[in-house]
Structure 1
């Protein structure tokens, strides 16, 4: 049940679109291709088990953790908007 000017099912469409955006972002961050034997950041050897577990790995665990801490999260945007924002 949608309200206002939206059609039936619009809320679910918004939820589906948000989930698809999050999945697309997560897939874009996955490594691919041939991995490195040595970390591209600090130069230490990447353990063989990590290279097998994560195809295309380029960083050691420590550098990968530091990189992920500095990545910005994708908050998205309000697809629906609010009536207040439309009145301004």
Structure 2
């Protein structure tokens, strides 16, 4: 049930739009092209199984883990999920 001047389903449309935007952002960050045989950051060999599983992989597991941790620390999304945290 929508409130105010919005139509029924407007809240769900906003949620769907937010999810679609997030998926588009993630898809843009997926690696493309030929997988590297050595990590572009540390030079360590990337295992064949990883290169086959993730097309266009450029980082070894260790460097990718560090990279993902840095990205999560600076995420623009509210991961706590409470309304109070959204109002700040």
**TM-score bin, normalised by smaller chain:** 0.7 to 0.9
Larger radius of gyration: 1
Shift of 1:59: 0.3
Q: Partner residue of 2:77? A: 75
How many residue pairs were aligned?
Answer: 77
Q: Which has the higher helix share?
A: 2
State the SS of the aligned residue for 1:50: helix
Give structure 1 stretches of 5+ with no counterpart. Answer: 77-88
Shift of 1:74: 3.6
The answer to which structure, 1 or 2, has the higher relative contact order (CA under 8 A, 6+ apart) is: 1
Q: Partner residue of 1:24? A: 24
Give structure 2 stretches of 5+ with no counterpart. Answer: 79-88
- Between the aligned partners of 1:24 and 1:74, the Cα distance in structure 2 is 15
Shift of 1:43: 0.3
- Between the aligned partners of 1:38 and 1:11, the Cα distance in structure 2 is 46
Query: Please, what TM-score do these two structures have when normalized by structure 1?
Result: 0.80
Q: Partner residue of 1:57? A: 57
Query: Please, what TM-score do these two structures have when normalized by structure 2?
Result: 0.80
Shift of 1:24: 0.8
| 1:5 pairs with 2:5 | yes
Q: Partner residue of 1:85? A: none
Q: Partner residue of 2:15? A: 15
Shift of 1:14: 0.5
Runs of 4+ in 1 over 4 A off after TM superposition: none
